């Protein structure tokens, strides 16, 4: 699996949001090209699935809404997202101390990433994918 377009959220921290989707897609293609020999040499043949496959899945919008509703109703669930976002922001600011992005903007981008990622997990389970 290549989680390429999921990375548009992270790329938008340093770039105008408009081009981040295509940049993420391009980076995913570049990664696949760089690693094709290793992928082909793997003893277990598998299909490469890119992130957009999951975003286009018939159940994605449903599960995204479920995640968003759970965030509104379950304080512990919201707290886990909040703590993950705060940890990312802390690490990001250590890596990029010159950043001028406000914490609220960073937090919103982190939350969007996590919501999207968590909406895909139940689809993997439903489709019979092992999630570790």
Read off the tokens for 43. Answer: 């003893």
- Residue 120 buriedness (CB in 10 A; 0-12 / 13-18 / 19+): buried
> The tokens of 60 are what?
């994605």
Residue 81 pLDDT exceeds 70: yes
For the cut 90, the answer to whether the pLDDT of residue 130 exceeds it is no
> Rounded to an integer, what is the distance from CA 58 to the centroid of its chain?
18
| Beta strand ranges found along 74-115 (DSSP E) | none
- For the chain, what are the domain ranges? 1-56, 58-132
pLDDT per position as a tens digit, 40-74: 998 987 789 999 999 999 999 999 999 999 999 99
CA-nearest of 5, 12, 52, 57 to 31 is: 5
pLDDT top residue among 109 and 129 = 109
Cβ atoms of 8 and 55 closer than 8 Å: no
Rg, the chain, Cα only? 16
Mean per-residue pLDDT, 19-43: 94
**Mean pLDDT of the region 91-114:** 92
Position 99 pLDDT exceeds 90: no
């Amino acid at each position: 699996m290549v989680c390429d377009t999921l990375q548009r959220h992270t790329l938008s921290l340093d770039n105008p949001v408009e081009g981040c989707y295509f940049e993420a897609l391009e980076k995913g293609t570049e990664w696949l090209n760089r690693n094709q020999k290793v992928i082909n040499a793997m003893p277990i043949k598998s299909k490469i699935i890119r992130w957009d496959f999951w975003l286009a899945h018939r159940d994605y919008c449903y599960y995204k809404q479920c995640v968003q509703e759970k965030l509104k109703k379950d304080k512990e669930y919201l707290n886990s997202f909040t703590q993950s976002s705060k940890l990312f922001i802390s690490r990001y600011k250590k890596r990029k101390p010159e950043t001028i992005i406000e914490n609220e903007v960073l937090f919103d981008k982190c939350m969007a990433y996590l919501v999207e990622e968590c909406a895909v997990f139940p689809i993997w389970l439903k489709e019979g994918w092992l999630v570790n």
